[in-house]
Structure formats: C-alpha cells, structure tokens
Amino acid sequence: MSRIVSFLPSATEMAYALGLANDVVGITHECDYPAAVKGKPVVVRNVLPIETMSQSEIDVAVAQRMRDGLSLYQIDEALLRELSPDLILTQDLCQVCAPSGNEVSQVLNALPKKPQILWLTPQSVDEIFENIRDLGTATGKTKEAESLIDYCQRRLASLREVTAKATKQPRVFCMEWLDPVYASGHWVPELVKFAGGIDELGSERAESVRISWDKIVEWAPEVLIIMPCGFNLQQTMKQIWSVFGPYSTSPSKPSAFFELPAVKSSRVYAVDANSYFARPGPRVVEGAELLARIIHPELFSESNPFDSSFQTVDVDLLRGALSDGNDFYIENGAMVFTQSYLQRRGYCCDNGCRHCPY
C-alpha cells in the first residue's frame, strides 16, 4: 500500500474513484468528496478567509498576494514529514486553485524522504482522462483507471447523441467569476459543447480571463450560467445577490446584466461549480450532463437528478419586486420573509429567519 498525500480536491476524487481510499493519508481543507474523505489529516489550508469575503475582495486580495510573490496556501510541513508520503498529487495549472510550482518544490526540499510527484495539469476533458490514467499507472490501478475512463467516455457519447437532436445551439455564457467578471476556460467551454450550447466568450484549453460587460452584451447570451470557481450552490446564490441584487454591495453593479437576453427571458442559472466544473476530475462528466439539462430541458423527459445542484435565478426577486403574502408578511410592524421567498433567494443569511429552509 502506498502513502498518498493530495494537494488537490480533484486528485482526491480520482484516488477514491480508483479504490485508493486507504492509501490517501493527507488531503487539503477543500477535499470534501466523497464524504468518506472527511476526517483525513489536512495538510493544505487557505491563507485567506474567503468564507467572509466578497468576490471583489477576494479578487483584490489574490492579485495582491500574486504581486507580492506570496502563496495563497499554507502547507503544514511538520504534518507532511510525519505522514511521510510515497506519492504527492499536485498541479502546476493555476496558482489560485492549489499549491503549485515553486512552493511545492520548496516544501519537498525540506522532506527527508523524497516522494514521487504526480503533476496533474489538464486543460481539456481528454487531458483529465489522461490524468486518471497517469494516477492509475503510478498506483498499480491501471485496470481500474481504464474502466473509469471508458465509463466516462460512454456517458459523454450518450449525451452527445441526445444533444445532437436539438434544433438549435443557444448562445451560452458561463460566468466563472462575478466581480470582476471572468469568462470560463480550460474544459468548461468543451462541456458546453457536449451539452448542446455555444460559449464563444469562453477560452477552450486556456485560462479563464477577465471580460468586459461590453463583450458580454455583444455576445447577447440566451442562457447565462453562473459558476464562480470554488463555490457551491448556496454560496453562488449569495454572491449573485451580493453583486446583482437590490441591495448590492458591489461598487461596480452592472445595469447591463438586466438587459441580457438570458436575464430578460429568465434563463439565468446558478450551479454548484465546486462539485461539477471547478475540479478536473470524473465529475466533469456530470457537469456536462447538468449543463445539457439546463440548456436543453426539452430533450429530457425523466426527472432531473441534478435538482439540488442548480437553481433558476428569480430575476424579479433579484430586482427587488416583493409580493405581500407570497414573499413576506407583516407581523407586529416587522417584515417576516416566507419560506417560499427564502428558497427562491437561494441561501441562508445566518440571521435566524423564522422560516429558513436551510
């Protein structure tokens, strides 16, 4: 049995999918899938308190640390030495996503025993599958890796057969960050194609990039999918309200948002980006399937298995249009929000709302 330390949530998911649960001895603070991973020693933590920061604050703080040559992550070197790994899973794709490059090399130099390093830096769906194959080779799980890859490829092929029946490929915009706005990159535009849409603002097999509202307006997306990197569904809904809501705290709240065709036709969706889009692992296949059901609901007659992984954004509610009785009622002179309102808002505000469903 090998001793694996994962510096990546996606790598942890790959390891578990290949049956290496008992081999994984160390993880990051972001590793939360599968549920069985909880309780493993945490070797990597974020240095920024992003849970309490707005998107614009995170963007500024990250940019400043990058300029100062500082890492966004803290590696517990003492724990790493104690765990004495044979294999470390890491990446050199994105300094924001996990420890990478020089910081990993510096930590390794401090270890008395030099482990094998497997660098996972995929830019596309095929390269994600290659990473699975590489992990299988490194751990003696080649058969399991090939079986998993074949299963994923068959699911994507089946999805393509379904979406090929669509009469139209709508213009899609996947918003990977809200304030400032970033278009998607790497494998996400490819997932949109699998799902029967077109996102020409996305950068396939390249980094996600900051984009102007002028370009978004020019593209005029018919479907808007909001997927901030590293955020789950509730966190995404909270950020949507923070940036676009009636009481927005964003200094750059864009009026252009409400003029987009997707917004006017109420085809704006928040998704669990953390699970299905930000992590280059086996679940990107589910991400493509989720996108297909959002973009082409008319092609699917059966119940949606992703109901808890996305939410339609209530645009009227976002504008501040509240209905007495449906969204709130007055009790002893105070406004009390209904459960219906709180569910459509999409997140818990931690204010102890009486009818909070979360």
Q: Is the pLDDT of residue 58 over 70?
A: yes
Q: Which residues pair with 91 in a beta bridge?
A: 100
Going from the C-alpha of 95 to that of each of 78, 92, 129, the distances in angstroms are 22, 7, 22
Confidence (pLDDT) at 92 = 72
Confidence (pLDDT) at 17 = 98
User: Does an H or E element contain 335, and which?
Assistant: strand 334-337
Residue 256's contacts (CB-CB under 8 Å, 6 or more residues apart) are 213, 216, 217
Other C-beta atoms closer than 10 Å to the C-beta of 47 total 12
Quickly list DSSP for 15-33: HHHTT-TTTEEEEETT---
Highest-confidence segment of 69-78, 86-95, 256-265: 256-265
pTM for the model: 0.92
Are residues 282 and 122 in contact, defined by beta-carbon separation less than 8 angstroms? no
Confidence (pLDDT) at 251 = 59
> Cα–Cα distance between 350 and 358 in angstroms, integer?
10
Domains of the chain: 4-121 (3.40.50.1980), 149-318 (3.40.50.1980), 322-358 (no CATH)
Q: 205: which 2 tokens?
A: 């097999």
Q: Which tops the pLDDT comparison, 257 or 103?
A: 257
Confidence (pLDDT) at 315 = 96
Confidence (pLDDT) at 302 = 80
User: Does an H or E element contain 270, and which?
Assistant: strand 268-271
Look over the chain and give the mean of its residue pLDDT values, rounded to a whole number. Answer: 91
Taking residues 56-68, report their average pLDDT. 79
> What percent of the chain shows pLDDT beyond 70?
94
Are residues 64 and 72 in contact, defined by beta-carbon separation less than 8 angstroms? no
> Cα–Cα distance between 15 and 9 in angstroms, integer?
10
Confidence (pLDDT) at 4 = 98
Q: Is the pLDDT of residue 185 over 60?
A: yes
> What percent of the chain shows pLDDT beyond 90?
78
pLDDT band at 71 (very low <50, low <70, confident <90, very high): confident
- Rg of the chain on CA atoms, in Å: 21
Confidence (pLDDT) at 239 = 93
Q: Is the pLDDT of residue 166 over 90?
A: yes
Mean pLDDT is lowest, of 62-66, 120-124, 311-315, for 62-66
Confidence (pLDDT) at 94 = 55
Q: Is the pLDDT of residue 25 over 60?
A: yes
Confidence (pLDDT) at 115 = 92
Beta strands 172-178 and 4-6 are: unpaired
pLDDT band at 40 (very low <50, low <70, confident <90, very high): very high
Q: Is the pLDDT of residue 283 over 90?
A: yes
Are residues 225 and 171 in contact, defined by beta-carbon separation less than 8 angstroms? no
Mean pLDDT is lowest, of 39-43, 73-77, 119-123, 179-183, for 73-77
Q: Is the pLDDT of residue 205 over 80?
A: yes
Other C-beta atoms closer than 10 Å to the C-beta of 174 total 27
Going from the C-alpha of 185 to that of each of 13, 123, 274, the distances in angstroms are 21, 8, 15
Report whether the peptide linkage leading into residue 41 is cis, meaning its omega lies within 30 degrees of zero. no
Q: Which tops the pLDDT comparison, 74 or 36?
A: 36
Q: E strands along 94-183, which residues?
A: 116-119, 172-178, 181-183
Taking residues 10-36, report their average pLDDT. 97
Beta strands 223-226 and 268-271 are: parallel
Taking residues 238-244, report their average pLDDT. 93
Cα 175 to chain centroid, rounded: 11
Are residues 288 and 248 in contact, defined by beta-carbon separation less than 8 angstroms? no
pLDDT band at 35 (very low <50, low <70, confident <90, very high): very high
Residue 143's contacts (CB-CB under 8 Å, 6 or more residues apart) are 136
Q: Is the pLDDT of residue 247 over 60?
A: yes
Q: Which residues pair with 73 in a beta bridge?
A: 46
Taking residues 85-98, report their average pLDDT. 75
Beta strands 42-46 and 73-75 are: antiparallel
Mean pLDDT is lowest, of 100-114, 153-167, 204-218, 328-342, for 100-114
> Cα–Cα distance between 257 and 253 in angstroms, integer?
9
